[in-house]
Amino acid sequence: MTTIDDTLSTDPGDSTERFVGQPSLVITIVYHPWPRRIGDRAVSPVAAGAIELSRMAPSFVDPWGTPAGPLGDRRLSRRPLRLLPLEDGSLRIDAGSDLGWRLDGAEGEPIMRVQSADLRRGVFIELARRAVLHVTLSTPTEPARESFGLIGVSGGTERLRNQILQLAVHEVPVSIAGESGVGKELVAEAIHRASARASGPWVTVNVAALTPSMATAELFGHVRGAFTGAEQTRPGFFGAADGGTLFLDEIGDIPAEVQPKLLRALETGEIQPVGGRARRVDVRLVTATDADLEARVLDGRFMRSLLYRIWTTTIDIPPLRARLVDIPLLFVHFLAEQLELLGAADKLDMPADNTAPWLPRRLVLALLRHDWPGNVRELRSVALQVAIESHAGPQARLPDRFGAPGASPSASASASGEGSGELVSGGFRVVGMDPARLHDILRRNHWRLRLTARELGISRNTLNAMMGQLGFRRPGQLTAAEILAVAAEVGGEVDRIAERLQVSPHGLKLRMRALGMER
């Protein structure tokens, strides 16, 4: 029998790099009595056959690629669970006589089978109520050469790192989309730091905080005496960012009277300071919003031509609920920062024998069940609260609003019956949803996201995350060559082209204009 120890190298980072492009079982520690083990991973290609899961195997590597060894906890059995990937994409689990384990919250049986769809989304395996592992079937991609300060080991986080690298080498505007609290500014700064402009200025502006009457002067500058109170010449945010990158957060809130001036700056590279002469600036623009800019275009609050300019390239940051394996790792990261300030960093040390861990398993399971509407910002706030309120006690406690902890993430979410979806290992999904069903609903609604989201009873943000998880393409991913090829095949009607490309006509029009293919 082949164990994962036979297939894993001990070289740092090799566990992913060796298996790029190979379907593999990816096992991530989401709970361990020693919190610093959370986020460690083991990867084994399906071609290697069965692997063993126990106290002694497999060998893991930490999120930075350093060998971390097996689970090692003395209360875990030496007798292994045997995980065997089958040809149909499912997984057979052979536990023998050891029944001290659970699968997605249900008591484990001697032999169990995980269906292929569930395995792709990921399942939770608990061992002796001491360790919780997330097991999924995926095809590892080439890891990014830098982390960019992004904490996480999920596929969504790794794709985000690679997108940052790809966009950093270009000079075109970048638009970052994502729910509030996902870390849009962190991603924007990472693009700047990875670009040739890294030595230049990095200027951030919250557009929503600009005073409408002063927005033009604040963005483009003014000369002394240009208006009452202008006691000295100021360069404005564009001038301050000359030679570097300007990040405009909450771009959807930019005043209407400023939008034509911003468009001119993007198209000509010139700004017009209030009371002064036009001047050239060399600025790369990165914008972010959690607003529906297409809707604002339709109701006249946002210029269509400006939207096309800032949508040249886009990054969609997945919500935290779509990156479940990142939640415990981020939580421990934020905990460690605050506990260090409180002089209680030892709370995250490996507990002594016969001593309960300061960070209990049930707390982490409660984190995995939570929907995190505030995303990483909310998670950080909870971690700080836990550290402050629990650092002097024997065990960490969550705020009361989390309710009674203890059930597994999948079992709890499925049984709650709240809303139209359930929280599972792969993120938020509509109950019973699969790619074929979503495809049918999208096609019935002519690929219009607003109508599809309404039919499913979910938000557009959730639909976007779901489409990303299930591999559906968005208009922003289309290339000019693809559009031209389909147009030549079906004729010039936008509706027919959109139907063939499986995007909405409106989304296709926006993409074509962004690519300079005006129709």
d(CA 373, CA 394): 30
Residues 159 and 206 in one domain: yes
Quick one: pLDDT band at residue 191, thresholds 50, 70, 90? very high
- Is there a domain that residue 255 lies in? yes
Q: What confidence category does residue 2 fall into, taking pLDDT thresholds of 50, 70 and 90?
A: very low
pLDDT at 116 over 50: yes
pTM for this predicted structure: 0.75
pLDDT of residue 518: 62
Q: What is the CATH number of the domain that holds 231?
A: 3.40.50.300
Range of the domain at 378: 321-413
Q: Is 27 helix (H, G, I), strand (E, B) or coil?
A: strand
pLDDT range class, residue 460, cuts 50, 70, 90: low
Last residue of a domain, one of 279, 294, 316: 316
Residue 449 neighbours by CB under 8 Å, 6+ apart: 460, 463, 464, 504, 507
Q: Quick one: CA dihedral 511, 513, 516, 519, positive or negative?
A: positive
Residue 299 has pLDDT above 50, yes or no: yes
Tell me the CATH number at 98: 2.60.200.20
Q: Are residues 132 and 274 in the same domain?
A: no
Can you tell me the distance from the alpha carbon of 503 to that of 490, in angstroms, rounded to the nearest whole number? 15
Identify whether residues 299 and 336 lie together within a single domain.
Answer: no
In terms of pLDDT, which residue wins out, 251 or 410?
251
Residue at which a domain ends, from 138, 169, 198: 138
In a domain, 24, yes or no: yes
Q: How confident is the model at residue 231 (pLDDT cuts 50, 70, 90)?
A: confident
Smallest Cα–Cα separation from 157: which of 366, 25, 31, 320?
A: 320
Tell me, yes or no, whether 29 and 62 share the same domain: yes
User: What is the tally of structural domains in the chain?
Assistant: 4
pLDDT band at 17 (very low <50, low <70, confident <90, very high): low
In a domain, 498, yes or no: yes
Whether 186 and 280 map to the same domain: the answer is yes
Q: What is the pLDDT of residue 361?
A: 95
Q: Mean per-residue pLDDT for 84-102? A: 88
Query: What percent of the chain has a predicted confidence (pLDDT) above 90?
Result: 56
Residues 160 and 189 in one domain: yes
The sign of the dihedral angle between the CA atoms of 352, 355, 358, 359 is positive
Position 6 pLDDT exceeds 80: no
Strand partners, 113: 92
User: Could you tell me the pLDDT band of residue 428, with boundaries at 50, 70 and 90?
Assistant: very low
Mean per-residue pLDDT, 393-419: 60
Cross-strand bridge partners of residue 81: 53
What are the two backbone dihedrals, phi and then psi, of residue 335, each rounded to the nearest 5 degrees? -60, -50
pLDDT at 224: 81
Contact 32, 75 (CB under 8 A): no
CA distance 165 to 150: 13
Q: pLDDT class for 401, splitting at 50, 70, 90?
A: confident
pLDDT greater than 60 at residue 421: no
295 in helix, strand or coil? helix
Higher pLDDT, 20 or 132: 132
Confidence band, pLDDT 50/70/90 cuts, at residue 324: very high
